[in-house]
Chain A
């Protein structure tokens, strides 16, 4: 079976010219093979360097970096050496030597490749050439991380979890504070439930505040402390100098957090974490959610509760839980965006409520995730890679229907997204059908996307080789999933109203099996929406043509055709 991950994304680079970026598996580190695609080469870097050849010693050469490869040609007459390295081969880029290094060729870059070689380059210490080369390489070799402008001088990408040794439910690639060493990470891991250390989920493009996710600290009844953990959170706080407190959101109700001490868990008390403020978000655990959804089922199938519909709906508490999850996410988003404070989010293990909160907050803060592509990445990253236990929560292939591990946490997240899309009808590129399709395939097991509990299990089972991704189904037929009213707005933060008055039961999903809940057949509605989409596309095309015609008239006819960026005002400029 073929594996198609995200199809290629036409995008724009920082220079406004069009280039092709081949998308990756979300932040998993293990980058699979590139597909061959038309590539518009773009010269990014061109400098004289010393290539430290492990066989022939240092060789002077000129390095050219384009948006898809690193190319070096020897400048020495007695050597015809040529290096030609696709950027996708690069697995790790490290700086070697510092400002004080004096030894010959001791200052430069060490590039680890996936094809079993290392490339070392020595650069001159003056003129920022190492910094430029490092940044360009990381930007283009790891475009996904780049959507957030990472790494930067506060945050680095670490491969410490490459073999899932640090934390078996985390992805291989993690973003951590620059000032925390891998050794620090190992020590912090011992103090966090299931070794789920605080790592970066999202960074604000302007104010550089961050959303960090983790699991609960292992405080226990005895009130244990861990110096490294305390120091680590302080390092996170220090990456943002706009406020002097770090905000920690514990998704649980206060009493549950206290009760967790009995089983070795707990929360960050303020007499230990002096520079942090802790808030509880009162979201209940997976068991409460499971029972609540059961009650919803009881009132809608097979017979829909008639006489006291609203009070029965209220007694399921489903909408109340939705409200609490949304309210929590709004607080996280608001703290980051308006409060300019960095935020740490955790619950108990950090794979249920934490995933809900971080992903919803990111959806509110970052318009990229409201596109179809972006939403896929969001789910892939915050849910799949960070180890939401899909297999256990859904119970794939397991006959034990009463398993206490099952819970509709992901469904609840999608419900929240639906509520947001109702309140902001023009903010999301996708439609209701997109959300329902995701939920249908959450259970169908037709695609590998939601199989297994975490990245390490998926790797072991070779899921990407043996299964097709749900996203390739969706991306191959995108029009079906598009919201015709979508208008892209880059910097808009969405704050939904999480009041009971403005939340409603998602009837088209929860009561879709009841033939009595009939509305206009969806087909004509969809048909009309498709027509509208076509109308809009046609309109944009004509606009482009008119603009093109105008610019061609204005500019010198011998000059190259006007820059593509002018003709594609609607193309995303995310990476």
Chain B
């Protein structure tokens, strides 16, 4: 295997510290192409400790005397310390980890080698093709069709092969609209809201440029959308940039929809943070949470100055705006920013969670992530290349998906019974988005996934998560289906720091998992005793 030349050492004796609460682990350390292994010997529990090298975000080595210390900061925000015997061994291990954790090739990544027992390749990949959601839409309305105009990814490399578009619009018109939109992302259906008969669309920014170009097919497409909804329906275009930023984008060929060109559509600007400032906010937050020296009377100030919670607030309130326009105003909504692959997806996916009870189920939520994030072309590989600890200058990294998960966590906290999945599910998604043995979050879009044959050569996270032993961690035992829209409060007083994630290192004495487990016991014990009838002698009088 080609990794062999990157592995500079056989093995070494080491002690691993996983955190203040956990006991240290001593044993033999060794490196493989994808993992760091520590084997404390067959009698110990666990008898093997394993870290996916891809999970390492930053590495720091210190030499003292004839031993060394390596601190690994992981993408899942855990901090590990390895005390290793021997200076050479320490340096070799550090160099090997550095080299192996930063490999960029997709097809040599671990998911292509991961073959767990009990799972079959390709099993869950076909759960959520675009056809599947289209069938749901088609049951409600005839106004939309599934177009395969993007079969060979020629219209839009970041869209899937099939997209849902207005029935009255021809594939040729789609091709023209695609040329008028950033990244070829012409307006497509994201969600059909049956109770009000309105739709949620997403797209890339229109390429009006400084000359204020227009595209009649694009205008026609949006006109048809309004015509297909109920008579007199209005439309809102939610632009996730400020008016100034949208105007400025014209200078680089982008822009926004001119009022006169799209009758019936009203533009609303809701600026959301993205890109580097968002990444920096994340980095500062993690830094603040890990800084145990922080004097106590400045904590809330520091938390505020990280601005993470205000990003959560802006995101949630924009999602509420989109959802409200559909549910209460009966309007159609088109969401876009610049590329339409980041803040756009945040808003469309959260609006669905607010409105659509199905998306709040376990299966529905997985389908939502698959459809609105993975297939919708959120560039996971670029955005999640590094987490909060990397010293490398961020290029394309941004914690957009994490921001989405945080917003969902806030929803779950405000509506403790309405989501079928719990915090464990959100934590798992965060972990796997940044480093995973599964192929689900690999690559940046469907086109790349196709080229790498991800769907045939790796296992899907969804089949991994459907293993019975995972279920208790992931599901919410208190869930009761709620047919209504759930309107979260986005006031700062209602939002909390997601302690389960950001304070992972400083655990509470009774972690939420313990309470979680107890609730499960109550629920499942009841199911167990049902059916087991007490015998006759129980009819004796009880004191």
Contact = CB atoms under 8 A, between A and B. Distances in A.
Do A and B pair up? The answer is yes
Interface of A: 18, 300, 304, 306, 308-311, 313-314, 317, 319-320, 323, 423-427, 484-485, 487, 494-497, 499-502, 504-505, 507, 511, 514, 516-520, 524-525, 528, 532, 535-536, 538-539, 542-543, 545-546, 548-549, 552-553, 561, 564, 567
A311 B492 contact: no
Interface stretch (B232-240, B347-355, B414-422, B423-431): B414-422
Contacts of A538: 526, 529
A542 B304 contact: no
Interface in B499-541: 499, 503, 506, 508-510, 512, 514-515, 518-519, 522-523, 525-526, 529, 532, 534-538, 540-541
B489 A485 contact: no
Nearest to A309: B492
B512 A320 contact: no
Contacts of B506: 497, 499, 501-502
Contact of B510 (A304, A309, A425, A520): A425
B337 to A, nearest CB: 24
B321 interface: no
Given A501-B503, A517-B489, 18 more contacts: A18-B543, A300-B493, A310-B309, A314-B297, A314-B298, A320-B296, A320-B297, A323-B296, A424-B509, A426-B510, A426-B514, A497-B508, A501-B289, A502-B499, A502-B508, A524-B482, A542-B532, A553-B535
Interface residue tally on B, bucketed by range: 35 or more
A323 B295 CA distance: 13
B489 A519 contact: yes
Contacts of B487: 518
Given A525-B417, A553-B537, A539 B522 contact: yes
A538 B529 CA distance: 9
B491 A517 contact: yes
A505 B497 CA distance: 12
A425 B493 contact: no
Contacts of A507: 493-494
Task: Determine which residue in B503, B512, B536, B543 has the highest number of CB atoms from chain A within 10 A of its CB, and name it.
Answer: B543
B478 A310 contact: no
A442 B478 CA distance: 33
A495 B519 CA distance: 22
B301 A314 contact: yes
B489 A516 contact: yes
A524 B508 contact: no
Contacts of A500: 296-297, 299-300
Nearest to A543: B529
Contacts of A484: 519, 522
5 contacts: A304-B491, A314-B297, A426-B510, A501-B299, A502-B508
Contact of B537 (A309, A426, A504, A548): A548
B418 A520 contact: yes
Tell me if A's interface is mostly helix, strand, loop or mixed: helix
Given A425-B510, A528-B480, A310 B522 contact: no
Contact of B518 (A426, A542, A543): A426
B303 interface: yes
Contacts of B541: 561
B508 A423 contact: yes
Given A320-B296, A532-B523, A543-B529, A548 B509 contact: no
Contacts, number: 150
B486 interface: yes
A79 B67 CA distance: 93
Contacts of B301: 310-311, 314
Contacts of A525: 416-417
Interface string B277-310: 0000000000001000000111111011000010
B135 interface: no
A313 B482 CA distance: 34
A412 to B, nearest CB: 17
B509 A304 contact: no
Nearest to A544: B542
Contacts of A304: 491, 493
Nearest to A18: B543
A499 B289 CA distance: 12
A501 B505 CA distance: 12
Contacts of B298: 314
B496 interface: yes
Contacts of A542: 529, 532, 534
Contacts of A499: 296, 506
Contacts of B416: 520, 525
A508 to B, nearest CB: 11
A424 B143 CA distance: 53
A423 B299 CA distance: 19
Instruction: Pick the 4 closest A-B CB pairs, nearest first.
Output: A309-B492, A314-B300, A310-B304, A545-B534
A495 B507 CA distance: 13
A504 B529 contact: no
B289 to A, nearest CB: 7
A507 B512 CA distance: 20
B309 A518 contact: no
Please indicate which of the listed interface residues A300, A524, A542 has the most CB atoms of chain B within 10 Å of its own CB. Answer: A542
A518 B542 CA distance: 47
A320 B514 CA distance: 28
Residue picked from B296, B304, B497, B519, most chain A C-beta under 10 Å: B296
Given A304-B491, A500-B299, A535-B526, A309 B415 contact: no
